[in-house]
Structure 1
């Protein structure tokens, strides 16, 4: 089969695999935590090992059949070192700007920074887990394999808006399976859909501008750590939040910092940079 031509069957296969891997690894970890009394961090690390291991196995098989696929999905090469620097620095610039403007505007007050060994260790452990269980395998499949397949048939702008819908369908599929097999409640809100859609666009723009999937992976991790240890004040453990504050209203920083600054402004800035690049060329 010609790998240079679009195949819906390949697209469907990638979607089924990422959904299945997420379903199996996630529920195995939950089972160990809830029924075997496993340490949460160890269980989540095991989830990551399973998800990343399965992803690497798929990549190995695909690379044997098509040796160019690693470069095609953006794991090798990049547009330029300057663009990589911009891509890496942008989310951190937006993070600092978001916190400062929120404080100046009165959105948060009584702000305290907690850079202690326990906080740093917690963030480092979660960063490793986030890389293995979320950022790396999801980006390989969604912004890597699936987008590469979409771009064999569609122009960039079309695939840019198609892939977030596929991204959203992954948790929907996983939750549907959990509802069928484990009778877990199916709960997805409209704001979650909006976040995933915008997040998916931002992730793809980071890859497009820098020319490397690694930037999408890095941005994915940065977003998760900001949400967990700053915007949401330590979602797993309030004692290990790197920044604590009183909000104007509950969820203000999740909306203002994580969504508006980290995600939406990333889309705006990267879109402008890509338009400038296009006009230069």
Structure 2
């Protein structure tokens, strides 16, 4: 049985594993794409298969030691069906609100929906890849195993503050490994730091409110798809942008929609909902 007491060695082990898995899977995929001429979508899918496969091996080993592990990290069970529905609906409500207000306030104009078969297929394929290469393994490790380990020692609010810092350290570790093994430049911007930190808080609050790690996984995928096919659609893949528009300035929708509405407003709304729950439980 896994100990219910905090262990720094377990925490470091989880951090090292997720960093190494991300580094290995990412570089294998990049090698196949750049050196072997593999199609980019297939290469990214291979990355996802590797990352998710390694994560499942870890989960299997941990499950053998602790039968309650899935429940502990949120892969099993929810707080209530109604809260899960609210959790699933919230990012989509914020998405629609963000697009509408951006248009009404003049942040975007000449808006048109590009709902073609190619766009739908591209989004569906990318959603599968995002699940396997980013959302599932990262949430299992960061919002699951690592958060639960930190939460054994600290209260929720402290764990909520610390968890995004560990989340940020993962790509930093991957970039550091890349600079050591491949002599790649090492750099991280303040904007990237702020985005990852707030995004990490939002992801944890979605799990806290709904009681399931699957909600964090769903929100992770929604955010990535919004960023890639709406907010930055013209930059990520101009042929597969779900919403076409002219921005007031370059990067407006990435800041206004993806960051402010999808991430920050998720934190605000979920914090209010959790405070209401806490107050009702005291009555």
Spell out, residue by residue over 1:66-85, the C-alpha distance to the aligned partner (whole angstroms, 9 max, x if none). 11111000000000000000
Q: Are residues 138 and 2 of structure 1, via their aligned partners in 2, closer, same or farther at CA, if it must alter by over 3 Å?
A: closer
* Correspondence list, 1:212-251, <5 A: 212-251=212-251
Match of 2:117 in 1: 117
SS in 2 for 1:85: helix
Structure 1: 4+ residue segments shifted above 4 A? none
CA contact (8 A) 2:18 2:141 kept: yes
* Structure 1 range deviating more: 184-193 or 95-104: 184-193
TM-score of the superposition, structure 1-length normalised?
Answer: 0.99
Q: After superposition, what is the alpha-carbon deviation per residue over 1:224-248, rounded to whole angstroms, capped at 9, x for unaligned? A: 0000000002444201000011101
Q: Is the 8 A contact 2:135 2:217 kept in 1?
A: yes
Equivalences for 1:1-281 in 2 at 5 Å? Answer: 3-281=3-281
Task: Tell me how many residue pairs correspond in the alignment.
Answer: 281
Work out the CA distance in 2 between the residues paired with 1:124 and 1:193.
Answer: 28
Matches of 1:64 and 1:148 in 2, distance apart? 18
Q: CA deviation at 1:105?
A: 0.1
How far residue 185 of structure 1 moved from its aligned partner, in angstroms, is 1.4
* Mapped contact 2:207–2:216 kept (Cα < 8 A): yes
**How many angstroms apart in 2 are the aligned matches of 1:207 and 1:267?**
12
Cα RMSD (Å): 0.8
Q: TM-score, normalised by structure 2?
A: 0.98
1:2 Cα deviation (Å)? 5.4
Shift of 1:187: 2.3
Aligned mates of 2:271, 2:277 — CA distance in 1: 10
* 1:173–1:263 CA distance, 2 compared to 1 (3 A): same
Q: Distance in 2 between matches of 1:224 and 1:230?
A: 10
Aligned to 2:111, what secondary structure does the other structure show? strand
Q: Distance in 2 between matches of 1:30 and 1:267?
A: 34
Question: Displacement of 1:184 after TM fit?
Answer: 1.1
**Where does structure 2 lack aligned partners over 5 or more consecutive residues?**
none
Q: Give structure 1 stretches of 5+ with no counterpart.
A: none
Following the alignment from structure 2 to structure 1, what is the Cα–Cα distance between the partners of residues 250 and 43? 30
**SS in structure 1 at match of 2:3:** coil
Helix, strand or coil at the partner of 2:135: helix
